[in-house]
A and B are shown apart, each in its own frame.
Chain A
Amino acid sequence: DQQVKQNSPSLSVQEGRISILNCDYTNSMFDYFLWYKKYPAEGPTFLISISSIKDKNEDGRFTVFLNKSAKHLSLHIVPSQPGDSAVYFCAAKTSGTYKYIFGTGTRLKVLA
């Protein structure tokens, strides 16, 4: 049972444009969400997180939006750069647990 879903396995975007990566979840008890970026042969690197009490969190070029009613979150990267090309994972957890549930990842390719 995949509680966190990233339905787009891949995405290509032109340099300078906006990249939008999507993530859906089914467990309404999730209240903390994170995005990670992963390059080949490296472990995932934390990008940005959001608590369920917020609907938006911004950090530089990265913004995460949370729509609790739709059980949907998205990561916006503006402007996209070739160095952003990587696999992006969203993850979710419930307060009081220490178990992060990850999506299957979306491979982003930013074209120069």
Chain B
Amino acid sequence: KAGVTQTPRYLIKTRGQQVTLSCSPISGHRSVSWYQQTPGQGLQFLFEYFSETQRNKGNFPGRFSGRQFSNSRSEMNVSTLELGDSALYLCASSAGTHNEQFFGPGTRLTVL
């Protein structure tokens, strides 16, 4: 079974631009979560989608948004990029509640 894939793996943007990151979950997994990892902050929960619906949202500004498609693939978008958005963005999929999440390798975003 193929794992969680994320594209692109690396991205460099400048302040004010917007970016879209993509995540393909493990086949059969309908839940997709997104996390931001920065040094010293651990993994910060962004949002979780299940069957195209956002079920939970973390404490991030509205510049961070996401969506999920009917095939469970998910995208997250960050508009008006700030220097502080530089981070590793991780996507995780799971089969349902009380199941472990399987993470992708992440997208390393650098904002200059």
Contacts and interface: CB of A to CB of B under 8 A. Distances in A.
Interface of A: 4, 6, 32, 34, 36, 41-46, 49, 51, 89, 91, 95-105
Contacts of A103: 42
Nearest to B42: A104
Contact of B106 (A4, A32, A43, A89): A43
Contacts of B101: 34, 46, 100
Contacts of B50: 98
Given A89-B42, A104-B41, A105-B42, A99 B48 contact: yes
Given A43-B92, A99-B56, 9 more contacts: A34-B100, A36-B103, A41-B105, A43-B106, A44-B90, A46-B101, A46-B102, A91-B43, A105-B42
Nearest to B56: A99
Contacts of B28: none
A46 B103 CA distance: 8
A49 B102 CA distance: 13
